[in-house]
Chain A
Amino acid sequence: MTRLAGWGRTPAASASVVTPSSEEALVELLGRGPLCARGLGRSYGDAAQLAGGTVADLTGLDEIGPIDDAGLVTLGAGASVDALLAVSLPEGWFVPVTPGTRQVTMGGAVAADVHGKNHHRDGSFGSHVESLRLATPRGVFDVSPAVDPDLFWATVGGMGLTGIVTRVRLRLLRVESDVVLVDTERFDDLDGVMAAMVEGDERYRYSVAWVDCTARGSRTGRAVLTRGDHAPAGADAPRAPRAGRLSVPFVAPPGLLNRLSVRAFNEAWFRRAPRHAVAEPHSIGGFFHPLDGVADWNRLYGPRGFLQYQFVVPEGAGDTVRAVVERLARSGLVSFLAVLKRFGPGDPGHLSFPLAGWTLALDLPVGAPSLPGELDALDELVLSVGGRVYLAKDARLAPAKVEAMYPRLEEWRAVRGRVDPEGVLSSDLARRLHLVGR
């Protein structure tokens, strides 16, 4: 038995971890009993663990096929964005969607239907997947938006519970350089940054705002907005992003990230940002994956771990974002820089998280006695305007709220029932939220 936890280092579980080296080995595992797929363990909560069961570590299925002229590439489920970029960027191809870290696998990106800073224009990961190969207890299937679309879209965002992805055929994005030209603007309050995003996001492929949730009073929700696109061809050919050189060698003592230290960090970070800068060149790593620069940064949160609370509210519900930020500032809870983004329309994934509107993500250390109740209250706010929280980040949602947040859950269960009637595929997340029924 091996001890596993999510990126937030919260609920721990022991499971027997196996590393299948082929699809056949995986199919054999599916015949044996409760099984959960795991990639690089970047889900924040308990999505990639199954206490007392078997966890299939798929990082061994990491082959990366040749990239054809149209930018199509076939990848093993365990291949990471990092490994893909190392091969593809020198050839002038970029991933169509990247989350805030390169350390995610293709299987994980499909299962969580991850999004990036370009969601408002390009949608989430699933929209760029040409087809999938899926190992289920009822057989191995090749699915796509044209072939068995129900199973395809149940799998995109399906948290690994409709089968285990073994191969992904992905459409890449043509780029001419490894540089992103970034415009930066600083705003003294939330209204300013939200107005700027509504007004100008369409002009940029990438857009994200970092919000200071510790600032109070007239500076509540002050933010730095960064927007940009890939630079045209420069003097040098594009190169793969470099690995970070820093790491956190041990788990920090509890309380290192407290109200004072986080507020000081947020202050310094806000002041460091230029008030207004245009077309500054940033590296791929610096712009898309700033936290990859420090390995094991999750250890900074200490032995109790942390959680990320990410929600989305529909287009007209910007006031809810404001209400959440104000509530947090008043509560005195410690929240590292929050990330605010606009989503474009969601894809047909039954349990896919994004929907057209606003999404806010907050990193919160576990420990404050008021935190559980405060987050339950935020759930109510989000739910009351038709919003939802992101399952890939969740570690504490009340099961009763899942169905309201994901109204197509029953439909998804029916698709899943077709390929896994005995309920072989499971996870602690699935059991905690009763995703697959009780």
Chain B
Amino acid sequence: MENAFGQPQSVVVLGGTSEIARAIVRKLCAARAEVVVLAGRDPARLAEAAREAEEYGAARTEVVVVDAEDPASAGPAVAAAFERVGAPVDLVIVAVGALGDQSEFENDPAEATRMVTVNMTWPVAALTAVRTRLLAQGHGRILVITSVAAVRVRRSMYLYAGAKAGLDRLCQGMSDSLVGTGVRLQLVRPGFVRTKMTAGQKEAPFTTGPNEVAEYVVRGLSSNAPVIWSPPVLRYLFMVVRHLPAAVWRRVADL
């Protein structure tokens, strides 16, 4: 059961090898998390993340191997993850995603489909299954990691950012659907984060590492903010960015 600070005892991570998710899990294990189930594609990296969770205090970890390119796998993966926890699930982190260099594949319809599947379709399928289960539990929390890029989509990564934007908006509605149920959905919108996924890309202003994101997330669990910005100043920056005229945005977005 989660405590008064929103610190969970049981955690399911979809996208368990994500560096941001791993940083969050480390902090949660150092607090109250006892059982962590990690779902992801690469068994070796999942095992490594599981070992790390145990080092930070988890009493038990499990892994579920799943391919986020196949939306049909989402429901069964969620079912398997909940079953491995074997008790009420306090927190589900949705950290599935793919970025890549869009200039290399933006003319390929199959790649465009893949970007939307991994960043939106699979997460939505999974969230639908998660939502039903948490409602039946009468409590639980969902963290969905999107991006500030979803707030205003830019030219150089419209496939990633557009798919994340779809996920982000959809989750706002899903979050509203949960008010008063004991279940809560919170969006995490990090700015540029130094990870393997973004390696080689030009850093944006207010770049952070995964641990800083995790710190803001842990605070957000306690404050119940519907959207957790990382760093928090981006909330105000993107209030402006969102309203920039298109001509201005085109010029500054990919500086």
> Is B2 part of the contact surface with A, judged by Cβ < 8 Å?
yes
Question: Are A52's CB and B3's CB within 8 A?
Answer: no
A254 to B32, CA, bound (A): 25
Question: Are B1's CB and A304's CB within 8 A?
Answer: no
> Is A421 part of the contact surface with B, judged by Cβ < 8 Å?
no
> Is A351 part of the contact surface with B, judged by Cβ < 8 Å?
no
Query: Contacts A3-B181, A428-B139 given; 4 further ones with Cβ under 8 A?
Result: A1-B181, A10-B3, A11-B2, A432-B3
- Give chain B interface residues in 140-184, CB to chain A under 8 Å: 180-183
Question: Are A8's CB and B4's CB within 8 A?
Answer: yes
- Give chain A interface residues in 33-66, CB to chain B under 8 Å: 45-46, 50-53
A305 to B88, CA, bound (A): 23
Question: Are A305's CB and B138's CB within 8 A?
Answer: no
Measured CB to CB, the nearest residue on chain A to B219 is A369
Question: Are B88's CB and A304's CB within 8 A?
Answer: no
Distance in Å: Cβ of B189 to nearest Cβ of chain A: 19
Give chain B residues whose Cβ lies under 8 Å from the Cβ of A322: none
A4 to B182, CA, bound (A): 8
Distance in Å: Cβ of A6 to nearest Cβ of chain B: 9
Interface string of B23-34 (1 = CB under 8 A from A): 000000001101
A residues with CB within 8 A of B:
1, 3-4, 8, 10-15, 45-46, 50-53, 254, 303-305, 307, 366-367, 369, 371-372, 395-396, 398-399, 428, 431-432
Distance in Å: Cβ of B2 to nearest Cβ of chain A: 6
Question: Are A51's CB and B3's CB within 8 A?
Answer: no
Question: Are B138's CB and A1's CB within 8 A?
Answer: yes
Question: Are A10's CB and B4's CB within 8 A?
Answer: yes
A366 to B136, CA, bound (A): 27
Q: With A14-B139, A46-B1 as known contacts, state yes or no: A372 contacts B7, CB within 8 Å.
A: yes
CB < 8 Å neighbour of A15 from B138, B218, B222: B138
Question: Are A52's CB and B31's CB within 8 A?
Answer: no
A45 to B5, CA, bound (A): 11
Question: Are B138's CB and A369's CB within 8 A?
Answer: no
Give the B interface residue count (CB, 8 A): 27
CB < 8 Å neighbour of B181 from A14, A367, A399: A14
Give chain A residues whose Cβ lies under 8 Å from the Cβ of B230: none
> Is B211 part of the contact surface with A, judged by Cβ < 8 Å?
no
Give chain A residues whose Cβ lies under 8 Å from the Cβ of B138: 1, 13-15, 50-53
A246 to B3, CA, bound (A): 31
CB < 8 Å neighbour of B9 from A13, A371, A432: A432
Measured CB to CB, the nearest residue on chain B to A376 is B31
CB < 8 Å neighbour of B180 from A3, A50, A307, A432: A3
A4 to B180, CA, bound (A): 9
Distance in Å: Cβ of A362 to nearest Cβ of chain B: 14
Sampled A-B contacts (25; CB under 8 Å): A1-B182, A3-B181, A4-B182, A8-B4, A12-B182, A14-B181, A50-B138, A51-B88, A303-B224, A304-B224, A367-B223, A369-B218, A371-B5, A371-B222, A372-B7, A395-B3, A396-B3, A396-B5, A399-B9, A399-B32, A399-B34, A428-B139, A431-B87, A431-B88, A432-B3
Interface centre among A8, A51, A53 (most CB of B within 10 A): A51
Question: Are A13's CB and B182's CB within 8 A?
Answer: yes
Give chain B residues whose Cβ lies under 8 Å from the Cβ of A15: 138
Give chain A residues whose Cβ lies under 8 Å from the Cβ of B102: none
Question: Are B181's CB and A52's CB within 8 A?
Answer: no
> Is B208 part of the contact surface with A, judged by Cβ < 8 Å?
no
Give chain B residues whose Cβ lies under 8 Å from the Cβ of A307: 4
Distance in Å: Cβ of B180 to nearest Cβ of chain A: 5
Question: Are B181's CB and A396's CB within 8 A?
Answer: no
Distance in Å: Cβ of B201 to nearest Cβ of chain A: 30
Measured CB to CB, the nearest residue on chain A to B140 is A51
Give chain A residues whose Cβ lies under 8 Å from the Cβ of B9: 399, 432
Distance in Å: Cβ of B184 to nearest Cβ of chain A: 8
Question: Are A45's CB and B4's CB within 8 A?
Answer: yes
Distance in Å: Cβ of A15 to nearest Cβ of chain B: 5
A45 to B4, CA, bound (A): 8
Question: Are B222's CB and A11's CB within 8 A?
Answer: no
- Give chain B interface residues in 1-55, CB to chain A under 8 Å: 1-7, 9, 31-32, 34
Question: Are B137's CB and A366's CB within 8 A?
Answer: no
Distance in Å: Cβ of B182 to nearest Cβ of chain A: 4
Give chain A residues whose Cβ lies under 8 Å from the Cβ of B32: 398-399
Question: Are B1's CB and A3's CB within 8 A?
Answer: no
A382 to B110, CA, bound (A): 61
Q: With A366-B5, A396-B3, A396-B5 as known contacts, state yes or no: A372 contacts B222, CB within 8 Å.
A: yes
Question: Are B4's CB and A366's CB within 8 A?
Answer: yes
Give chain A residues whose Cβ lies under 8 Å from the Cβ of B224: 303-304
A52 to B140, CA, bound (A): 10
Measured CB to CB, the nearest residue on chain B to A395 is B4
Distance in Å: Cβ of A429 to nearest Cβ of chain B: 8
Give chain A residues whose Cβ lies under 8 Å from the Cβ of B1: 11, 46, 51, 428, 431-432
Interface centre among B3, B87, B223 (most CB of A within 10 A): B3
Question: Are B182's CB and A51's CB within 8 A?
Answer: yes
Give chain B residues whose Cβ lies under 8 Å from the Cβ of A398: 32
Give chain B residues whose Cβ lies under 8 Å from the Cβ of A366: 4-5, 222-223
Measured CB to CB, the nearest residue on chain A to B9 is A432
A396 to B1, CA, bound (A): 10
A254 to B223, CA, bound (A): 9
Give chain A residues whose Cβ lies under 8 Å from the Cβ of B87: 431
CB < 8 Å neighbour of B222 from A8, A50, A367, A428: A367
